[in-house]
C-alpha cells in the first residue's frame, strides 16, 4: 500500500497560528459577473486575493515562499499554459496567468468527486481557514482578503455566522442573460475537455477518462428536452428566493450591492461605490480598459423559454428593476 505524500507545507503550518484575515465575499451566481468584478477589485491593489497559482499549488505555498521557489513555480505554470496553448479560459475571453484571480471553490473540491458541491460548511471550514491564512501570510500585509465562490451565493448566512465582521459585495445580473451565459459555459466544458478547468479541477479532468460518467454528464444536453436549461433555471430560482428572503439579515454596514450591467457601463462608479462602502482609501484606475463588451446573443432554448424564465423570476427582476426582454 502506497503512503500518501506529505504536503510540502506541513513543516511550516505553525507559522499560521497568529495569522488573521478580514474576509470580503463577492456574492453572486455563476456567470453573473463575479469574475470581472474580482479582477477589477484585485487590480486596485487594495485587497489580497486568491489566484490560479494559489489553488494549483495550495499544498506548497508556504514552502515555495520560504524556500524562494515561488517564482520558479509560477514560471513552470506559465510554461504549462504555453504547452497547452492556453491563452484564455475557453468559455470566455478572460486571459489566463498564474496570478489570475480565482474562486476558492477549487480548493474545497480538490480530491473530491465531480459531483461534490464545493460550498463552505463546518466540515471543510478548517481546510478553508488554513488556505486563507496561507494566502494572507505570503501576502505579508493586513489588506482585506477578497474571496469569491458562486457555489456559496445561497450560503451567505453561514458565511455571516462564521465571519461576523465580514463584508459582502452582492452582484446582480439580468437573469435571462445570466442563465444564457451559464448554459453556454456548461455545454462548452462538457462538449470537449477544457484545459483551463482540467488544471484547476482534477475531478473534471478525470471525467474525460471515464466514458460512463461523461455520458451521464452529457445527458444534460438539449436532446433531453432542454433539461440543462431547466436545471439552471431551478438553481436561479433557488438563489433569488434565498437572496430576497435573507439579504436584509446582513447589516447595511456590512454589505453593498451592484449590478453587472452598471459595472460594465460605468465600472469606475461601481468600484468606487464598493471602495467607499468598505471604508478603503480612494483609488483611481482606468477600469474601462478592463471591460470588453461582447454581443449578447441568446441561445435558441433561452429564446423559447425566456417568457417563462422571467415570469418565474419576476420578484427578483422587480427588486433589481430589470425590464422584461
8 A C-beta contact, residue 23 and residue 163: yes
Mean pLDDT by 10 residues, the chain (325 residues): 64 96 97 94 96 95 97 95 81 81 92 84 96 97 97 97 98 96 86 84 85 75 68 94 98 97 95 96 83 82 94 97 96
Q: What is the pLDDT of residue 2?
A: 38
In the chain, the number of structural domains is 1
Q: What is the pLDDT of residue 5?
A: 55
Please report which residue ranges of 163-209 form alpha helices under DSSP H: 175-191, 195-200, 202-207
Q: What is the pLDDT of residue 84?
A: 86
Q: Which residues form the domain of 309?
A: 17-320
Q: Is residue 5 part of a domain?
A: no
Q: The domain spanning residue 181 has which CATH number?
A: 3.40.50.300
Q: Is residue 4 part of a domain?
A: no
Q: What is the pLDDT of residue 3?
A: 38
- C-alpha–C-alpha distance, residues 69 and 60, integer Å: 10
- C-alpha–C-alpha distance, residues 306 and 324, integer Å: 9
Q: Is residue 130 part of a domain?
A: yes
Q: What is the pLDDT of residue 6?
A: 65
- Which residues lie across from 244 on neighbouring strands? none
Q: Is residue 2 part of a domain?
A: no
Q: Is residue 87 part of a domain?
A: yes
What does 139-176 look like in DSSP terms, one character per residue? HTS---EEEE-GGGGGGHHHHHHH-TT-EEEEEE--HH
- C-alpha–C-alpha distance, residues 102 and 156, integer Å: 19
Q: Is residue 8 part of a domain?
A: no
Q: Is residue 6 part of a domain?
A: no
Q: Is residue 56 part of a domain?
A: yes
Amino acid at each position: 500500500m502506497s503512503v500518501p505524500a506529505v504536503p510540502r507545507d506541513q513543516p511550516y503550518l505553525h507559522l499560521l497560528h497568529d495569522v488573521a484575515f478580514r474576509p470580503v465575499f463577492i456574492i453572486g451566481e455563476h456567470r453573473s459577473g463575479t469574475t470581472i468584478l474580482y479582477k477589477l477589485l484585485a487590480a486596485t491593489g487594495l485587497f489580497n486575493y486568491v489566484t490560479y497559482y494559489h489553488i494549483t499549488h495550495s499544498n506548497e505555498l508556504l514552502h515555495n515562499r520560504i524556500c524562494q521557489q515561488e517564482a520558479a513555480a509560477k514560471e513552470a505554470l506559465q510554461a504549462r499554459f504555453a504547452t497547452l496553448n492556453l491563452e484564455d479560459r475557453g468559455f470566455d475571453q478572460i486571459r489566463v496567468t498564474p496570478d489570475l484571480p480565482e474562486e476558492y471553490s477549487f480548493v474545497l473540491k480538490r480530491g473530491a468527486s465531480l459531483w461534490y458541491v464545493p460550498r463552505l460548511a463546518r466540515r471543510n471550514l478548517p481546510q478553508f481557514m488554513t488556505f486563507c491564512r496561507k494566502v494572507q501570510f505570503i501576502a505579508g500585509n493586513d489588506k482585506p482578503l477578497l474571496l469569491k465562490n458562486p457555489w456559496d451565493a445561497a450560503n451567505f448566512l453561514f458565511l455571516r455566522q462564521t465571519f461576523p465582521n465580514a463584508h459582502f459585495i452582492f452582484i446582480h445580473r439580468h437573469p435571462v442573460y445570466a442563465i444564457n451565459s451559464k448554459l453556454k459555459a456548461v455545454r462548452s466544458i462538457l462538449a470537449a475537455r477544457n484545459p483551463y478547468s482540467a488544471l484547476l479541477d482534477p475531478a473534471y479532468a478525470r471525467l474525460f477518462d471515464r466514458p460512463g460518467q461523461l455520458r451521464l454528464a452529457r445527458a444534460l444536453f438539449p436532446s433531453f428536452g432542454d433539461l440543462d436549461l431547466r436545471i439552471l433555471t431551478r438553481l436561479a430560482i433557488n438563489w433569488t428566493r434565498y437572496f430576497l428572503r435573507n439579504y436584509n439579515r446582513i447589516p447595511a454596514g456590512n454589505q453593498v450591492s451592484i449590478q453587472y450591467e452598471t459595472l460594465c457601463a460605468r465600472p469606475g462608479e461601481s468600484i468606487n461605490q464598493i471602495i467607499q462602502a468598505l471604508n478603503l482609501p480612494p483609488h483611481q484606475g482606468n477600469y474601462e480598459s478592463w471591460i470588453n463588451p461582447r454581443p449578447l446573443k441568446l441561445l435558441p432554448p433561452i429564446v423559447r423559454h425566456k417568457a417563462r424564465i422571467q415570469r418565474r423570476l419576476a420578484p427578483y427582476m422587480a427588486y433589481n428593476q430589470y425590464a422584461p426582454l
